[in-house]
Chain A
Amino acid sequence: GAVVSQHPSRVICKSGTSVKIECRSLDFQATTMFWYRQFPKQSLMLMATSNEGSKATYEQGVEKDKFLINHASLTLSTLTVTSAHPEDSSFYICSALMGQAVHFGNGTRLTVT
């Protein structure tokens, strides 16, 4: 069964608003979670690594003030897309490290109108 839960699965928002996406580890504590972005027919692009109790580590080119990551507990990390624009429309996927393997949530399809 699923070990990582992501919510919501789809969200449509208006340009300029903020959207929060939740990622939960089920039945295990995840000190490290990852946030990815995926464009159609493209590979997963790592956006940031989220560590419980500390600041996230962002990949080069990812705006940390636009993509706010909070990992306040061992089972929950959130990604907030602030002041969303149509170019932020994408598929966002979180994952969590369990042992030595990375397990993914089912993704969130964000559409900014």
Chain B
Amino acid sequence: QKEVEQDPGPLSVPEGAIVSLNCTYSNSAFQYFMWYRQYSRKGPELLMYTYSSGNKEDGRFTAQVDKSSKYISLFIRDSQPSDSATYLCAPGSGGSYIPTFGRGTSLIVHP
């Protein structure tokens, strides 16, 4: 089992839809959780950073962490075509600051 699992997609949704992107992990030592957005041929861009279970909201984005089930989600409200990208979840353990990346989920938001 890989340490971080993500469905590669692609996930195709109409503009305005609520998007749910999910990630599971196996290492119970992970303490902080990041989501990155990567456009084609670009480096990943940090979207969200959370350190505990629960929800964290930033604009149209909400990150949700459930440590008991080792399940991470990213919700995007009112999705836009510009949100079309690959979303990588990246949990990490305290002390190393080296996140472990999932393979990413490709999202396509069509007008």
Residues on A close to B: CB < 8 A? 4, 6, 32, 34, 41-44, 46, 49, 91, 93, 95, 97, 100-107, 109
Contacts and interface: CB of A to CB of B under 8 A. Distances in A.
Interface string B3-36: 0000010000000000000000000000010101
A34 B44 contact: no
B42 interface: yes
B41 interface: yes
Contacts of A42: 103
Given A100-B32, A100-B49, A43 B101 contact: yes
B41 A43 contact: no
A107 B103 contact: no
Given A43-B104, A44-B88, A101-B49, A107 B43 contact: yes
A106 B34 CA distance: 18
Interface size class of B (residues with CB under 8 A): 20 to 34
Contacts of A43: 88, 101-104
Contacts of B103: 41-43
A20 to B, nearest CB: 18
Looking at chain B's contact residues, the main secondary structure is loop
Nearest to B45: A104
15 contacts: A4-B43, A34-B98, A41-B103, A44-B88, A44-B101, A46-B98, A93-B43, A93-B44, A100-B49, A101-B46, A102-B99, A104-B36, A106-B42, A107-B41, A107-B42
Contacts of A32: 97
Contacts of B104: 43
A43 B105 CA distance: 10
A32 B96 CA distance: 11
B48 to A, nearest CB: 10
A95 B43 CA distance: 9
Given A43-B102, A43-B103, A44-B88, A100 B97 contact: yes
Contact of A106 (B43, B101, B102): B43
Given A43-B88, A44-B101, 20 more contacts: A4-B43, A34-B98, A41-B103, A43-B101, A43-B104, A44-B88, A46-B98, A93-B43, A95-B43, A97-B97, A100-B32, A100-B97, A101-B34, A101-B49, A102-B90, A103-B46, A104-B36, A104-B43, A104-B46, A107-B41
